[in-house]
Amino acid sequence: MFSFGIGTTGGPQFLIWKDNDPYSRSDVYINSVSFAKLSKLRPFAYYLTLNLKGDDIYVTYSASENSAILRVTLVPDGRIELLLWQEINNDWLSMWQWPSTYCEFYAQCSPFSSCDPKGSQDHCKCLPGFQPKVQQEWDTRNWTGGTCVRQKALRCDKDDGFLELANMKLPDHSYILGNMSTNDCESRCLRNCSCTAYAYLNASDGASGKCLNWYGDLMDLVQDFVGSDLYIRLHDGDPVGNVKSSVKFTRKNKRSIIIAVAAVSIGLVCVLSGYFIWRKSIGKQERIEETCTGMNTSIELGKSETELNIFSFNQVVAVTNDFCEENKLGKGGFGPVYKVVLPVQGNSASKVSNLLDFCFSFLFY
C-alpha cells in the first residue's frame, strides 16, 4: 500500500511511502517552494507548492488559468499524478507524474554513492574519496548491495576536512541545527566525530540560513540536481585530484595558508638571528685585532724579544674569550696563564708557526 505526505524528520520534504518504507522523496527544503510545469496543450502553467509558514506545513496545487480543472491523485503503482480535465474528450489527461525516472526512486544507489540521472547504463558511482567494497558486485550493477567504503578512514582530528559537491539532492535523515553562519555550521560538524556531511541553506526572508548535519550513512544522493551544495567529510590525504574543479577541499586550503604564514615568520626570525650573530662575531674580531695591533712584538729565529705593553681589561677579555677555561694553560705563582688566538692577515701568514710558540702571560691582582 502506498501513501503520500510530508516528511518532517529533519528538513521538510515530499515523501511517498510503500507500506512503512520510503519509496520516493523530494529534496530537503527550509523555504516554501513551487514546482511549475508548462502545459503543451493549453497556454498555462500548473504548480505544486510546499508551503512553510511558521509551524504550519501543507501542500497546494494550482494553475495560472482559473478555468483549468486539476486533480492530484496517488495511483495504485505508487506515483503521484497531476490530471487536467478535458471537456472535449470528457476525460482526465495526465500532465505530470512522480516518480518517473530511475534516480527519482528512493535509494537506487548504495550509501555514500550518488545517482546520475544522465547515466545511460551506469547510474551509480561512489562519492569522491570512496570506492566499492566488492568491485565484482559493482561491475554487475548491483548498486544497492555493493556498498561504497572510504579509501582513507576518518581520524577525527585536524586532518579531517570537507569536500564540496555542487548541485546535489541532499541526503535523507538530515538534522537541522538552526540558524547560524556557514563557518559555524562547518565547525559544528567538525567537532562531532559522527558527523559525515553538512549543508547550509539560505533563508528566503533574509535571516541567517539554516545548518543541516548528517550522521552515519549518506542515503539517496542524486547529482546534477537542482539542489544545494553538500560538504562531505573526508580525510586530508584522500585522492580527490580526479574530481572536477568545482570541488574544493575547504579545510586543507585554510591549513595551507596557516602553514605558509608560519614558514615565512620562522624564516624571517632565522635571518634576523643570523644577522645579529654575524655582527657580534665581527665586533669581537675587531676588538681582538685592535688589541693585537697595540702589541709591539719582534720575533727572530732562535731569539725572541718582547716589549711588554699595558693592556686594558676589555682587551684582555677579548683575547681570552672572556677567560674561557678552554684557553687556560695553567696556573703559576703569579696567577692563571691564558693563551690567545691572533688573527692572521696579509704578510703575517708566514709568521704563524712562530706566533703559535708565543704566549702572553697576564698577571691579575
pLDDT in tens, 129-153: 999 888 888 887 877 767 899 998 8
Distance of CA 70 to the CA centre of its chain: 49
pLDDT in tens, 52-93: 887 788 888 787 777 778 888 999 999 999 888 888 889 998
Cβ-contact 5, 63 below 8 angstroms? no
At residue 235 the predicted structure's pLDDT band, cuts being 50, 70 and 90, is confident
Backbone angles phi, psi at 205, to 5 degrees: -90, 10
pLDDT in tens, 243-290: 333 334 444 454 554 555 455 556 565 656 665 665 666 555 555 455
Q: What is the mean pLDDT of residues 288-294?
A: 48
Secondary structure (DSSP) of 272-316: HHHHHHHHHHHHHHHHHHHHHHT--EEEETTEEEE------HHHH
Calculate the CA dihedral of residues 72, 75, 79, 84 and round it to 10 degrees.
-30
* Distance, first Cα to last Cα, the chain: 112
Burial class (CB within 10 angstroms; exposed 0-12, middle 13-18, buried 19+) of 9: exposed
Name the DSSP letter for residue 68. -
Short-list 225, 204, 221, CA closest to 30: 204
Backbone angles phi, psi at 285, to 5 degrees: -60, -40
pLDDT in tens, 167-198: 999 999 999 988 888 999 999 999 999 999 99
Q: Is the pLDDT of residue 126 over 50?
A: yes
How far apart are alpha carbons 128 and 239 in whole angstroms?
A: 8
SS3 152: coil
Short-list 230, 246, 152, CA closest to 189: 230
Cβ-contact 46, 37 below 8 angstroms? yes
Burial class (CB within 10 angstroms; exposed 0-12, middle 13-18, buried 19+) of 210: buried
Cα angle at 235 between 245 and 240, to 5 degrees?
A: 25
Domain boundary assignment for the chain:
2-100, 109-248, 249-365
CB-based burial, 62-74: b 16+ in 10 Å, e otherwise = ebeeeebebebee
**What pLDDT, on the 0 to 100 scale, is given for residue 306?**
41
**What pLDDT, on the 0 to 100 scale, is given for residue 59?**
84
Q: How far is CA 142 from CA 51, 110, 297, 322, in A?
A: 38, 9, 98, 82
Burial class (CB within 10 angstroms; exposed 0-12, middle 13-18, buried 19+) of 331: exposed
